[in-house]
Amino acid sequence: VLPSFGARRRAAAASILEPQPLASLDARNISAWFGERQVLDRVSLTMPAGVITSLIGPSGCGKSTFLRILNRMHELVPSASLAGEVRLDGEDIYDVGRPLTEARKHIGMVFQKPNPFPAMSIYDNVVSGLKLTGTRVDRQTKDELVESCLRRAGLWTEVKDRLRAPGGGLSGGQQQRLCIARSLAVKPRVLLMDEPCSALDPTSTRVIEETMLELVQEVTIVIVTHNMQQAQRVSQQCAFFLAAHGTPGAIVEHGDTDAMFADPLDPRTFDYVNGRF
């Protein structure tokens, strides 16, 4: 006997509110091209479950490209190609049998410039993520989901009395936390953040950092940052990317963040983390 529609719907609603187990992300020998031009050369990095990994390095060394490969956004650029493997908890996200939306659903992305739908309400911005999963949920479940996502993004107390106000009316830092809440609505296993604080003031930056440190207990985080203090404040693991003299970007070294800043193995890392280039 098939479960009734109501029962199936309640099961779907419950699974939307339950946390997912933590997952690791494993990139192996990633090379990337735009047309003929190679921009990444055999980058391998394990991003362990429940850890914040920061990617650092000068502009143009391929950090954003690497991040976009991690959730299959790279392939949206017509001239782009790549080689290598990305595994989410051991499963190949580029497996031909897997739909693109599945990778996107499990691996959320937050960008440098906060991009909520400006005219859409705060409430609907959070719920909009659900369209990706095609899950239909009742009003009460939606309310619970919106509250839970906004709480986890550190925004609930500031917006709970104006959930129907447009997302575009929030401050920059609040908009960025709204974007985090929106990505949490689909229950990602990994959250990729490309310079999420570069457009924000120091106070908003600290609030986002605190949010990340809470969130990493439920979602693995990878952050690109140009702020060396931020890398040290938030990340346990750090990877230094470099594209020297027109060569494709590669990882010079990676490892425990404190060790890498205190005692880098490579002189180029030492120069970079000490602001010499």
Beta bridge partners of 88: 25, 91
| Residues in a beta bridge with 40 | 32, 249
Give the helix ranges, DSSP H, for 155-241.
Answer: 156-159, 172-184, 202-215, 228-234
Contact string (CB under 6 A) for ligand ADP, positions 31-70, x = contact: ---x----x-------------------xxxxxxx-----
Cα dihedral value 13, 17, 23, 29, nearest 10: 60
State the binding partner of 34 from ligand ADP, Mg ion, none, CB within 5 to 8 A by kind.
Answer: ligand ADP
Measured in whole angstroms, the distance separating CA 102 from the mean position of its chain's CA atoms is 15
What is the H or E stretch that residue 190 is in? Answer: strand 190-194
Contact map string, positions 72 to 111, toward ligand ADP, x by CB under 6 A: -----x----------------------------------
Nearest distance from C-beta of residue 230 to Mg ion, angstroms: 15
Closer residue to Mg ion, CB minimum distance, 193 or 208: 193
User: Quick count: other Cβ atoms within 10 Å of Cβ 76?
Assistant: 9
- In the bound complex, what is the minimum distance in angstroms from residue 76's beta carbon to ligand ADP? 9
Task: Output 65 or 205, the one with its CB closest to Mg ion.
Answer: 65
With residue 69 as reference, give the H or E element that holds it: helix 63-70
Q: Which residues bind Mg ion (CB under 5 A)?
A: 64
Task: Decide which of ligand ADP, Mg ion, none touches 106; Cβ closer than 5 to 8 Å per partner kind.
Answer: none
* CB nearer to ligand ADP: pick between 32 and 126: 32
DSSP assignment string, 71-137: TT-GGGSTTEEEEEEEEETTEETT-TTS-HHHHHHHEEEE-SS----TTSBHHHHHHHGGGGTT---
Residue in 188, 186, 190 with CA at minimum distance from that of residue 137? 186
The number of C-alpha atoms within 13 Å of 227 and in the hemisphere containing its C-beta is 19
Q: Between 37 and 131, whose beta carbon lies closer to ligand ADP? A: 37
Q: Is 144 helix (H, G, I), strand (E, B) or coil?
A: helix
- Residue 168 CB, nearest approach to Mg ion (Å): 24
Rounded to a whole number of angstroms, the minimum distance from the CB of residue 222 to ligand ADP is 13
Nearest to 45 by CA among 33, 60, 56, 58: 56
Which of positions 139-178 make contact with ligand ADP (CB under 6 A)?
Answer: none
Between 64 and 125, CB nearer to ligand ADP: 64
- When the beta carbons of 64 and 141 are compared against Mg ion, the nearer one is 64
Nearest approach in angstroms of CB 14 to Mg ion is 38
- What's the closest the beta carbon of residue 64 comes to ligand ADP, in angstroms? 3
Residue 175 site contact among ligand ADP, Mg ion, none (CB < 5 to 8 Å, cut-off depends on kind): none
Residue 112 C-beta: closest distance to ligand ADP, Å: 10
The residues binding ligand ADP (CB under 6 A) are 34, 39, 59-65, 77
